[in-house]
């Protein structure tokens, strides 16, 4: 019984008890009728309980998206919690400060680097704890983010039959190529059991429908969103001074973790081609912002040395103050080989930067070619170099594209729109509690 129900029961016992003794549910009939009679209020719904499932809240694109979005989604209508099955991560405290409960299996952090022979035991422990958590909390909706959580724990969630299940696909399905074929079969089976399958771009949506045979009636589209209060509001050249870049230089930046599929080798080869084939261009530099978790930085630095552009490249690693760097940047670049819908692209557009992106996934949905930036083929360093040269040679065009991109983010990719997309889906699945 809710606190409000207890209050009504205390204040109006002569009305409450006859209703309950007639066989009507106490907190759904007596309480509501009291409200109708004495307050004239049509209905107060019970909150829909949502459990988000993800590996951890380490800083990343999806995790940052959740940090931005869930506190806005959370309201009197929704009771939000997050289940991190591996470890909490650095964003967990920020999430808790926003009023979102974060649950992690006890001593799970000890299991992160266990020997391979112990992995079955740690996996079993995680599954058992998740099973117990579901039946203890009894959520109305269980929402899975990223493949690890989906493939590992979605089968367990099927045992909790009263809850609705959602899977969020945030990338193209090339990640399945590194798994055995039976994993793909498991994923396709799970798709059939989901109440809703969410995509964060039309490209991902089409792949789910036409390549993975997800019924169209189960599919929903919710784009990533940007909070405009986080926007870069003014130019700041302190970063240039720190990196030894002249104030009149044109600065490019790419924001992505150093991973092979992010197209970094293509980008550096394009820089080499740019330096060799366009010698009269204005002075330019490239800032690389991203975590090097696989040891790729040294390889890229060596490539830059061989191509004679090492003095123009600046690797600054993982940053929590990305906006501070974007305030010193003129052009944004992201040339991934695959992409669902990049937070980084709309963040840079929101900062007023013209974008050069590869023609993959949701990139062309965010960047309108010739209007808010340039879209080039993936894995095409020469085409990329020509696009960079064009914006370097036409600063007024680049500025106009940046302003148009900022406007597009405001109109199409706001954090409020993203949050409302989730709310709409949750309401549709939890409508029985709101009746």
Distance, in Å, from the CA atom of 29 to the CA atom of 279, rounded to the nearest integer, reads 79
Q: Is 184 helix (H, G, I), strand (E, B) or coil?
A: helix
**231-412 matches 48-225+415-434 in CATH topology:** yes
CB 176 within 8 A of CB 187: yes
Q: Give the rounded distance of the alpha carbon of 329 from its chain centre.
A: 24
As a whole number, the mean pLDDT across the chain is 86
**Cα 309–Cα 310–Cα 312 angle in degrees, nearest 5:** 70
Please give the model's pTM, rounded to 2 decimal places: 0.82
Query: Per-residue pLDDT tens for 30-87?
Result: 433 343 344 444 445 689 999 999 999 988 889 999 999 999 999 888 999 999 998 8
Q: Is 46 helix (H, G, I), strand (E, B) or coil?
A: coil
Work out the number of other CB atoms within 10 angstroms of the CB of residue 397: 14
Q: What value does the mean pLDDT take over residues 185-202?
A: 95
Residues near 54 by beta carbon (within 8 Å), at least 6 away in sequence:
62, 63, 66, 82, 83, 84, 85, 144, 145, 146, 149
Tokens of 111: 């299991």
φ/ψ of residue 168, rounded to 5: -105, 115
Which CATH fold topology does 231-412 show? Rossmann fold (3.40.50)
Instruction: Give how far Cα 400 sits from Cα of 52, 330, 342, 358, 403, Å.
Output: 40, 12, 22, 20, 5
Distance, in Å, from the CA atom of 332 to the CA atom of 65, rounded to the nearest integer, reads 20
CA R_g for the chain: 25
Give the torsion sign (CA, 359, 360, 362, 363).
negative
Which CATH fold topology does 48-225+415-434 show? Rossmann fold (3.40.50)
Instruction: Give how far Cα 114 sits from Cα of 58, 88, 153, Å.
Output: 19, 17, 20
pLDDT band at 256 (very low <50, low <70, confident <90, very high): very high
Query: Per-residue pLDDT tens for 128-149?
Result: 999 999 999 999 999 999 998 9
Answer whether residue 180 shows pLDDT above 90. no
Residues near 188 by beta carbon (within 8 Å), at least 6 away in sequence:
212, 213
Answer whether residue 414 shows pLDDT above 60. yes
**In 316-370, which ranges are continuous DSSP H helix?**
322-326, 343-350, 363-366
Per-residue confidence (pLDDT) for residue 76, from 0 to 100: 82
> Pick the residue with more confidence: 262 or 431?
262
Per-residue confidence (pLDDT) for residue 19, from 0 to 100: 37
Domain boundaries, the chain: 3-39, 48-225+415-434, 231-412
């Amino acid at each position: 019984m809710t606190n409000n129900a207890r209050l009504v029961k205390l204040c109006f016992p002569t009305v409450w008890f006859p209703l309950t003794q007639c066989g009507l549910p106490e907190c759904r009939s007596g309480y509501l009728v009291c409200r109708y009679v004495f307050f004239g209020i049509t209905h107060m719904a019970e909150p829909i309980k949502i459990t988000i499932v993800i590996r951890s809240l380490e800083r990343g694109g999806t995790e940052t998206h959740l940090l931005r979005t869930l506190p806005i989604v959370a309201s009197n209508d929704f009771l939000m919690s997050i289940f991190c099955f591996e470890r909490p991560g650095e964003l967990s405290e920020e999430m808790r400060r926003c009023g979102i409960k974060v649950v992690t299996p006890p001593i799970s952090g000890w299991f992160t680097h266990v020997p391979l022979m112990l992995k079955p035991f740690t996996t079993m422990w995680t599954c058992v704890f998740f099973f117990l958590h579901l039946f203890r909390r009894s959520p109305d909706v269980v929402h899975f983010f990223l493949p690890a959580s989906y493939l590992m724990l979605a089968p367990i969630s099927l045992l909790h039959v009263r809850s609705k299940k959602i899977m969020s696909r945030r990338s193209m399905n090339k990640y399945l190529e590194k798994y055995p074929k039976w994993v793909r079969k498991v994923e396709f089976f799970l798709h059939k059991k989901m109440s809703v399958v969410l995509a964060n771009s039309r490209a991902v949506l089409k792949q789910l429908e036409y390549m993975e045979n997800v019924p169209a009636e189960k599919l929903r589209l919710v784009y990533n969103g940007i909070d405009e209060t986080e926007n870069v509001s003014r130019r700041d050249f302190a970063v240039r001074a720190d990196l030894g870049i002249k104030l009149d230089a044109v600065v490019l930046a790419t924001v992505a973790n150093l991973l092979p599929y992010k197209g970094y080798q293509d980008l550096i080869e394009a820089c080499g081609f740019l330096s060799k084939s366009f010698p009269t261009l204005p002075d330019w530099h490239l800032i690389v912002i991203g975590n090097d978790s696989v040891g790729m930085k040294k390889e890229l630095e060596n490539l830059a040395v061989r191509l004679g552009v090492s003095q123009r490249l600046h690797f600054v690693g993982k940053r929590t103050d990305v906006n501070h760097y974007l305030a010193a940047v003129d052009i944004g670049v992201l040339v991934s080989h695959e992409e669902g819908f990049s937070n980084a692209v709309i963040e840079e557009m929101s900062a007023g930067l013209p974008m050069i992106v590869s023609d993959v996934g949701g990139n062309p949905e965010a960047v309108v070619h010739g209007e808010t930036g340039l879209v080039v083929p993936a894995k095409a360093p020469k085409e990329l170099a020509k696009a960079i040269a064009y914006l370097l040679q036409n600063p007024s065009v680049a500025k106009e594209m940046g302003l148009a991109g900022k406007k597009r983010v405001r109109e199409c990719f706001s954090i409020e729109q993203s949050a409302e997309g989730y709310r709409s889906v949750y309401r549709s699945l939890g409508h029985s509690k709101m009746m």
